[in-house]
Amino acid sequence: MLELVEEHRCFGGVQRIYKHESESIGLPMRFSVFLPAAASAAKVPALFYLAGLTCTEETFPIKAGAQRYAAEHGIALIAPDTSPRGADIPGEKDAWDFGVGAGFYVDATREPWSKHYRMYSYVTQDLRSAVLADLPVREDRLGIFGHSMGGHGALVLALRNPDLFKSVSAFAPIAAPSQCPWGVKAFSGYLGDDREAWKQYDASELVRGDSASRFANGILIDQGLGDQFLAEQLHPDIFERNAREAGRNVTVRRHEGYDHGYFFISTFVGEHVAHHARVLCA
């Protein structure tokens, strides 16, 4: 059961925030939804957007400016929160890159995180089921994209679930988390020290598999060359190299001067929505 928290008229459609109970998380979760005008007459395709570190379900709809493009294509936009809230785990608010606001879209296996920090199952099961049950969204026309930590999440969720998500793209993703400080910290804390277990959540490992060939429009990544996190944290070159060696259809576009923030995302978000629309609206 979805509880409507707020609603606003937006580009002929509605922008909403919902709250619901999550079985996977064991706590209430919030997510935002933009429904285009077309959704008042029929079920529409939908794009799931996964946000980055410190963000909430409000960040993307407020900052990205994607509703204009989604309205033009008749696509819904769904953006969940980035972690559980209210788990009351000691230390969960001590760092901005681990714990609250930093769920990394994994199912934690290490105590005390394993009880509530299950964002992988939340997005693929609870959120998806709630959206399909209560909103005018087509089950066979779902895509996924995201930014930074959420770009990592989008790539991983798509590559592991090509039957659920028909299209995928990312902005400045943490593309090889097993090889960067953010990822090593998160994976060690949530999953433990077995690096083999990390591979199931590392897009640069997953892109070698057959699932990467199942996206009709390929995988699109945009990366700013003025991004302060590019050299140490993001490593799109590793993802691109592994994809190329495996013969996968991946496009990494590099943009001079653009940084890691939402000015960058808002510049190219229309092209990402169009990338998905070519598959979801076909």
Residue 20 appears among annotated catalytic residues:
no
- What are 90-123's pLDDT values in tens digits? 999 999 999 999 999 999 999 999 999 999 999 9
- What are 236-279's pLDDT values in tens digits? 999 999 999 999 999 999 999 999 999 999 999 999 999 999 99
The identity of residue 26, as a single letter, is G
pLDDT of residue 152: 99
Question: CATH for 3-281?
Answer: 3.40.50.1820
Percent of the chain exceeding pLDDT 70 equals: 100
Residue 227 appears among annotated catalytic residues:
yes
Which one of 227, 235, 275, 276 is the catalytic residue? 227
Which one of 235, 260, 272, 276 is the catalytic residue? 260
Residues 6+ apart with CB under 8 A from 118: 24, 25, 107, 108
Pairing of strands 28-35, 13-21: antiparallel
Burial of 236 (0-12, 13-18, 19+ CB in 10 A): buried
Residue 148 appears among annotated catalytic residues:
yes
pTM value surpassing 0.75: yes
Which one of 22, 32, 83, 148 is the catalytic residue? 148
pLDDT of residue 235: 98
- Spell out the domain ranges in the chain: 3-281
Q: If DSSP codes are grouped into helix, strand and coil, which group holds residue 92?
A: coil
- What are 40-97's pLDDT values in tens digits? 999 999 999 999 999 999 999 999 999 999 999 999 999 999 999 999 999 999 999 9
